[in-house]
Amino acid sequence: MFYGWKLATIGSCGNLLLQGSVFYTMNAFIEPLVDLHGWSRAGIGLSMTFASAMMTLSMPIGIMLTNKVSIRLLMTLGAFIGGLGYIGLGHVDDIRLFAALFSIVWVCGQICGGVVATMLMNRWFAACRGRAFGLVAMGTSLSGAFLPFIALVLVDTFGVSWAFSVLGGLAFLLFPICWRLIRDTPEEIGLTVDGLAAGAFQPGAEEGKVVPIGWRELIRGRRMWIIGVSFGIGLMAVGGVLSQLKPRFVDSGMGSYAAMGFMCLTALLGALGKYAWGWVCDRTTPLFTAKLLFLCNALSLACIFLPQNLFNVILFVVGYGLCMGGIWTVFPVVVAYLYGKKQFPHVYKYISLFVAVKSLGYAVVGLSHGLTGSYNTAYIMLIVLLLAAFAATSTIREHEAAEGNVFATCN
């Protein structure tokens, strides 16, 4: 097996134990934290909003650090500090300290996984880039598939402090693994990109030194705005729908545990979708995949309006789960495809700021329910926006991509 797949697995574990874990497990911690400390749900929600903003701001910083600091060191420190911060969440009684630690853990999730792991995959893969990005991104959704139930059992059995300590301890154990196994480039251990023979042509591997595209040139170009806003909309839809999917099922008459089970199943299918959409990127083109992805997300989300019965719930969970998982995978692959492998780190540090649009999803679904007593208004708006993203990305042509004339097969 090519060594790069081992590194992709480590990046996926970072997303599972830090990036996704701290988000999904709050479904199990919110009520116990309210009972334990007297905090309000609104206060905890604001803490998560603040942490989400800090995580988004850390993305371009993390990308810039990969050009100055060893990725091996960055991911090791991310696991070390993130694990300790995660443990600390269970031992503070001031909500301001909780918000600060939550921010640290979420930022470390980007350092131990997230954008730093994505930059690492860009160095190790070219033709297999879609699947490599997908494998790394899978960890975030996998955490939502089973960690909320584990956290719930831990809280009920040992209490809040011990539950945070156990989950944080698992993340902390990643740091020696990162230091032992991660290598910044395949050349460090005598390998090449994708594990191909030395000198083999690589998609997007431009010869010579590449001058980074200036930020003024980027913001003047329509491609950055189309891709950034479109994937921001996609992430906003995913964040908004998943953040209150369990309550949506409960409102429709489903039991609490059944609703949680279907939410976790959606996350699990999202993890499978992340790898599947990466496979589609490698077998077709990332730009075609992006158009198909937005259309499928809109159509599958519309299934939530079908009459409530077991068949229709399963249809929605399977369809939307598989489709929504591709957003995080296809986003960086499209950027690399449009701008080239060597320009990717520079361009992605700017375009990743559009991830901030994701935070609007939480407000959209919350306001929809607060004003109308239903999530339907929010869902309709998100479907319209996803169709608009499909239309917008359809205006970008294959010949505009830096790698548009490259055809390669991942072994």
How does residue 209 score in pLDDT terms, banded at 50, 70 and 90?
Answer: low
Q: Do 175 and 223 have their domain in common?
A: no
pTM: 0.80
Tokens 């359809």, located at residue: 394
How does residue 206 score in pLDDT terms, banded at 50, 70 and 90?
Answer: very low
Residue range 314-352, pLDDT digits in tens: 999 999 999 998 998 999 999 999 988 888 888 888 888
Residue range 216-274, pLDDT digits in tens: 788 888 899 999 999 999 999 998 888 778 778 888 888 877 888 898 899 899 989 99
Q: Which position has the higher pLDDT, 298 or 195? A: 298
* Euclidean distance between CA atoms 102 and 32, whole angstroms: 16
Please report how many Cα atoms fall inside a 13 Å half-sphere around the Cα of residue 65, on the Cβ side: 20
Task: Give me the helix-helix angle, 222-243 and 376-393, nearest 10°.
Answer: 150
Q: Do 170 and 236 have their domain in common?
A: no
Residue range 98-128, pLDDT digits in tens: 999 999 999 999 999 999 999 999 999 988 8
Cβ(273)–Cβ(326) below 8 Å? yes
On average, the pLDDT of the chain sits at: 88
Cβ(223)–Cβ(399) below 8 Å? no
Cβ(230)–Cβ(338) below 8 Å? no
* Euclidean distance between CA atoms 171 and 168, whole angstroms: 5
292 assigned to some structural domain:
yes
**Could you write out the DSSP letters of every residue in 277-319?**
HHHHHHHS-HHHHHHHHHHHHHHHHHGGGS-SSHHHHHHHHHH
Q: Do 232 and 142 have their domain in common?
A: no
Give the CA diameter of the chain.
Answer: 63
207 assigned to some structural domain:
no
19 assigned to some structural domain:
yes
The domain tally of the chain equals 2
Q: Do 162 and 233 have their domain in common?
A: no
Give the range of the structural domain holding residue 271, as residue numbers without chain letter: 214-405
Question: Which residues, other chains included, contact 317 with Cβ-Cβ below 8 Å and sequence gap of 6+?
Answer: 262, 265, 266, 269
CATH code at position 236: 1.20.1250.20
